[in-house]
Chain A
Amino acid sequence: MSAKTLTIDGQMVSAGADESILQAAREAGIRIPTLCHLDGLSEMGACRLCLVEVVGTSKLQPACHTSVAEGMEVRTDTERLRAHRRAIVELIFAERNHVCAVCVASGHCELQNLAAAVGMTHVRYEYLAPSCAVDISHARFGIDHNRCVLCTRCVRACDEVEGVHTWDIAGRGTESRLITDLHVPWGEAASCTSCGKCLLACPTGAIFHRGSTVAELEHEPTRIAAIVAARSERW
Chain B
Amino acid sequence: MADKLRLATVWLGGCSGCHMSLLDMDEWLIDLAAVADLVYSPIADHKHYPKNVDLVLVEGAVATNEHLELARKVRQRSRLVVALGDCAVTGNVTAMRNPLGAAATVLQQVYITHGDPRGVLPDDPDIVPRLLDTVVPLHATITVDLFLPGCPPSAPAIRALIEALLKGETPPAASRFG
Contacts and interface: CB of A to CB of B under 8 A. Distances in A.
Given A101-B151, A103-B178, A122-B147, A129 B99 contact: yes
B86 A116 contact: no
Given A123-B137, A127-B98, A129-B99, A101 B144 contact: no
Nearest to A105: B178
Interface size grouping (class) on chain B: 20 to 34
A126 B140 contact: yes
Interface stretch (B1-9, B64-72, B89-97): B89-97
A149 to B, nearest CB: 15
Contact of A101 (B86, B98, B134, B140): B86
Interface string B100-111: 100000000000
B93 A116 contact: no
A44 interface: no
B146 to A, nearest CB: 8
Q: DSSP class of B's interface residues: helix, strand, loop or mixed?
A: mixed
B147 A121 contact: yes
Contact of A122 (B139, B151, B173): B139
Contacts of A208: none
B113 interface: no
B76 interface: no
A101 B176 CA distance: 10
Interface of B: 83, 86, 89-93, 95-96, 98-100, 134, 136-137, 139-140, 144, 147, 149, 151, 173-178
Given A102-B93, A122-B83, 9 more contacts: A93-B90, A99-B92, A99-B96, A100-B178, A102-B96, A112-B178, A122-B89, A122-B90, A129-B95
Q: Which 3 pairs across A and B sit closest by C-beta, in order of nearness? A: A100-B178, A101-B151, A129-B98
Interface of A: 93, 97, 99-103, 106-107, 112-113, 115-116, 119-124, 126-127, 129-132, 215
